[in-house]
Structures are given as C-alpha cells and as structure tokens.
Amino acid sequence: MARVMGLDMGSSFVKGVLFCDDEEPRFHMEKSGINYRRTAAAVRDALLREAGVTAADCDLVLVTGCGANCVEFAGAAAAEMPCLIRAVAEAVRPCVVLDMGGQASRLGVVNREGRMESFDFSEKCASGSGKILESVARVLQLSFAELANVAQHSTQPTSFTTSCAVFAESEAITAVARGESAANIVGGFHHAIAKKLVAMLNRSGSKVRELPLVAAGGAALDGALISTLESMAGRTVTVLERPQHVVAFGAALSARDALSN
C-alpha cells in the first residue's frame, strides 16, 4: 500500500489527510493564517508524526485549494472540484453535493460511475459561503461553533440582501445598532446563504431533484444552516463525515490513484 497525503489549502483552514499503508486515514487541520507555506508544513508534519513516518517515507503529496501554489514540497496538484467529486463518489453515488467552503460554495452532480456530470459555483464576493458566517460571528463576538445554538432561538430572522462577506459584516453591525437580537441576525444570514444555495440547486435542473443531496465544507458543521437549507429546498441534506476534510480526502485518494496508474 502507498503512503500518500492530500492537502486542501483553503482560505480559512489548511486540511490534510494521510493514507499510510493499510491503516485508517489520519486527519489534521490548522487555520491558514498569513503564511500558507508554514501552515502546510505544519499540517504535513503533524500527520507524519502521528503516523510515525518521515517526509521521505511519503510516496506522493497532492495539493489543491487557493493556496496550492505555495506548497513547494507537493509532488502534484489538482483542481478542487475533481478532488471533491473523487471523495464524494467514494461515499455515495449518484448524488448532488454542496461544498460550502470559506471562500465560495460549489455544487457538483455525481453520476453512478462516480464522475462529475455538471457543476456550478456561487457568485463572487463569498456569496453563499462560510466566510459570511465568520464575519457575522466576529461582529457578534461568538465562536463559529456557537452560531447554530444561537440561531435556534431566532423568532423573526433579520432580512439581509448582501452578497458580499465584507458588506455582510457592515449589515450585521447595523442590525446590532438597531437592537436586533443575535439570534435573529444569525438566522437572517442563514436564510440569505440558504437562498443562494437553493438558487444553485434550481439552476441544476429538474433531473437532480430525485438524487440524494449531501453537504461538505466547514459551513456544513452549522446545523442550523443545514436545517434552514432543508426547509427552503424542501429536501433532506446529509452532511458527509468530516465535512471540512472532504476535499483533502479526495486529494489523497487522487494521489493514491496516480501511483496505481
């Protein structure tokens, strides 16, 4: 068995997955920070230490994500969508996957053979992505993990129209100044993000409506957002295991595939 690693260089977190022989995969992530090279090396080293191997023992490191060009020790690179589809196809097929990342959200349709039939991206300015939730959490002085619990108490979600993470922060500040509750502010942004995601689903056409809908990415950890999405889309959303690591897992699978071909 090969020893391969996949690294997903995201805008918020760097995620890594290591396949070491026939052992269970290992996972690690750290905040991306301002130095992608240093963070990538830290994630790599943490995974290697846990496995008890060295960098020389790793047959291939495959990197993807917005900071991929900063990883000098990677032996290969790939686009994010193929890595996402490779991982999702390992879990469920056919299906529709929504990857709700920090910088953008993506939609992919996976066929029975595990290949991507079509894809779509959210609009620019981090519309429909986790970056907006990070901005709102910062204004409300909440951790990302607290957002779902706070949103459960929303009685009248605040109406927001922004499609930009920068302006979302400004709108959140204005809502606080008006005396809006934290619960309604978070609930309002959940509605705004879910609306963008449903728009992507609707653009995919009627043929995907009968397919299972699965979610990946950091924002998928927000249970209240998932509930809002289910309500607006009128369908069940299954959150994949370790949703933040799905793309990195696909990168590691792709590295293993490359060695076996």
Tokens 């709108």 identify what position? 171
Positive or negative: CA dihedral 108, 111, 116, 117: negative
* Crossing angle of the two packed helices 182-203 and 165-177, in degrees rounded to 10: 150
Positive or negative: CA dihedral 9, 66, 111, 199: positive
CA quadruple 95, 81, 240, 172: dihedral, nearest 10: -110
Greatest CA span in the chain, whole angstroms? 60
Q: How far is CA 97 from CA 52, 57, 78, 106, 126, in A?
A: 34, 34, 19, 8, 18
CATH value of 3-80+246-260 in 3.30.420.40, 3.30.450.20, 1.10.3470.10, 3.40.630.30: 3.30.420.40
Bridge partners for 77 per DSSP: 63
Spatial CB neighbours of 138, under 8 Å, sequence gap ≥ 6: 169
Per-residue model confidence as pLDDT tens for the chain (261 residues) = 689 999 999 988 999 999 998 899 999 999 999 999 999 999 999 999 999 999 999 999 999 999 999 999 999 999 999 999 999 999 999 999 999 987 778 999 999 999 999 888 876 555 556 778 888 899 999 998 899 899 989 999 998 875 666 678 888 999 999 999 999 999 999 998 898 899 889 988 877 888 999 999 999 999 999 999 999 999 999 999 999 999 999 999 999 999 988
The Cα 147–Cα 133 span in angstroms is 8
Bridge partners for 107 per DSSP: 98, 120
Tokens 């894809």 identify what position? 119
